[in-house]
Structure 1
Amino acid sequence: MLWSDTKDLVSQYTKNNPGCFNLEKTLLGFVLDGQSWCGKEGSKETFTKLCPESNGCENSPYRSFWRKTSAQFAAHACEEVTAMLNGGRKEPFDPNSCFALEVENLRSSVVSRLNVVLVDGKESMCNSENLQALWVELNKKGINHNCKPASTADVKKCEWNKTNPCGVCLF
């Protein structure tokens, strides 16, 4: 399961739906989730406290790690993939996010569809100019897509069914 600006909800969802997993459920993702680290020019030490805003710095080791790991995670996705985007944002698809990088790395030879859940979004957002950029990218790759808004409460109520792929209860 991929996500953008819905981390806590996706973490809860994948915990309650063992057929689904996100990057944070992989070994590296689990160990490094919530961690921050940085270096200091001229030093060989690694620091975990008092780092400058390494989360926002595009070239920080922290950001580089998550971008590379996210890209590799998506490159190994297969069949139907579900993504939860924050439909409460004016523009739920950020072309500079790790999610956009994940979309770039989805392989049409093994991914048949990307199901997008707009958490707390409206149906009309699925046709918004912002999401059209995502649909164009997926169409170029030959990956089908589906979009549906769902409330946070609906996502929390969604139960896993062994016969259905991850996220199908939301569609």
Structure 2
Amino acid sequence: MKILLYICLIFAYSQVGLSHYRYPFYGLSDDAGTTPRIDQIFIGRCSDYQASHTMEHEVDCHELWMTFSSVFANLDPCKVQTAGYDKFIEKSSVPIPQDGSVFWSGTYDFTHSYVKTVGNLYTLEDVLPGYLVNSLTWCGQEKSPGINYETCSDPQGCNKNNTYDFWAKMSTWFAKSASGSVQVILNAGRDPAFASDSFFAKFELPNLPHDKVNKIEIIVVHGIDGKDNPKERCGSGSIKELQSLIEQYNFAWTCADNPGPIYHHLCTSTPDTIRCRSIHGVSRIVLLAALASGGVLIFILAGFIIALLCERGRATRYLKMAQNVKA
């Protein structure tokens, strides 16, 4: 009876789900003007990047700022020619290591934290062109000083369109620079997890080079915002739509729900969540119960159950991954 009680207790603990894991993203206000001292921030980031990365050629940071700012400075927002950003992207472009490109949708903070922890992976915001302007706001005006630091909101919405065009160009460049296996990290807590009007759908997936990219790894993260939509999983919901879309572009794909590295990062960042505590809690309960009973057989059984529980999640994830592989 004691053994049965211990097993039931273990089972109950193992079924507890993941609690809140939240990475709120705070976007800039629509009424915000150009980021103060944007030129200094831009040039400073440029210098820092070159100091911490091996560059194929040195970049003149001041010249790069002039190339970037000349697109919008001293101009009415509705007269900006966003094609001018192509020159900035060309001058600031850097090679992306093979198997290193990571795309994201609805997982901004989580993905950047994960990439930083794992290493040798890069989002658009981690490489020079994106790093220089990530989280910054900019817009111009015809009157002095040529840059509007008060507001980038205009009646026609030209500044918003200009910014959208800029990031569309950046996303296109980042996709074209990818090679080997690439990852796209999605948030299962959103509905839908994959949006057909997302930057990945509109600019990144269509521009992945077939001669360089051999596989797209879909990673569905559950538990970022404390919600877990059962429909948003590999093979169902919007994830199924993404899988079909990838097939239309003739790419091989795999799909995994909270694969090992992602799950480990969730628990590293939030070790107090229920699921992350469950294995450790079960281990302590079983061992204490076994010791209290004084039975060698129970102690051996306890060790076996603990090992089984530790492998349970990993085996399930690998099985799902294998079932969702599409060659």
Q: Is the 8 A contact 1:123 1:148 kept in 2?
A: no
Residues in 2 aligned to 1:51 and 1:11: alpha-carbon distance in whole angstroms:
27
Alignment coverage as a number of residue pairs:
156
- How many Å apart are 1:22 and its aligned residue? 0.8
Q: Secondary structure at the match of 2:233?
A: helix
Matched, 1:86 2:204: no
- How many Å apart are 1:141 and its aligned residue? 2.1
Change (3 A) 1:98 1:124: closer
Alignment of 1:53-68 (within 5 A): 60-68=161-169
1:127 to 235, 260, 267: 235
Query: Which residue type is aligned with residue 118 of structure 1?
Result: V
Q: Secondary structure at the match of 1:63?
A: helix
Name the structure 2 match of 1:155. 265
Greater Cα radius of gyration, structure 1 or 2: 2
- How many Å apart are 1:150 and its aligned residue? 1.3
Determine which structure has the larger helix proportion and give its number.
Answer: 2
Segment drifting more, 30-39 vs 78-87: 30-39
Scaled by the length of structure 1, the TM-score of the pair is 0.77
- How many Å apart are 1:99 and its aligned residue? 1.3
Determine which structure has the larger strand proportion and give its number.
Answer: 1
- How many Å apart are 1:24 and its aligned residue? 0.7
Query: Which residue type is aligned with residue 91 of structure 1?
Result: P
- How many Å apart are 1:137 and its aligned residue? 2.2
Alignment of 1:29-108 (within 5 A): 29-40=130-141, 45-52=146-153, 60-100=161-201, 101-108=203-210
Name the structure 1 match of 2:251. 143
Deviations 1:25-63 (A, max 9, x none): 1111111000112345x668333542229xx98962211
Name the structure 2 match of 1:113. 215
- How many Å apart are 1:102 and its aligned residue? 0.6
Residues in 2 aligned to 1:75 and 1:68: alpha-carbon distance in whole angstroms:
11
Identify unmatched segments of 5+ residues in structure 1: 159-170
Name the structure 2 match of 1:2. 103
Q: Secondary structure at the match of 1:127?
A: coil
Identify unmatched segments of 5+ residues in structure 2: 1-101, 223-227, 269-320, 322-327
Over the residues paired in the alignment, what is the CA RMSD in angstroms?
2.8
Scaled by the length of structure 2, the TM-score of the pair is 0.43
Q: Secondary structure at the match of 2:219?
A: strand
Name the structure 1 match of 2:274. none
Q: Which has the higher contact order (CA 8 A, sep 6+)?
A: 1
Query: Which residue type is aligned with residue 264 of structure 2?
Result: D
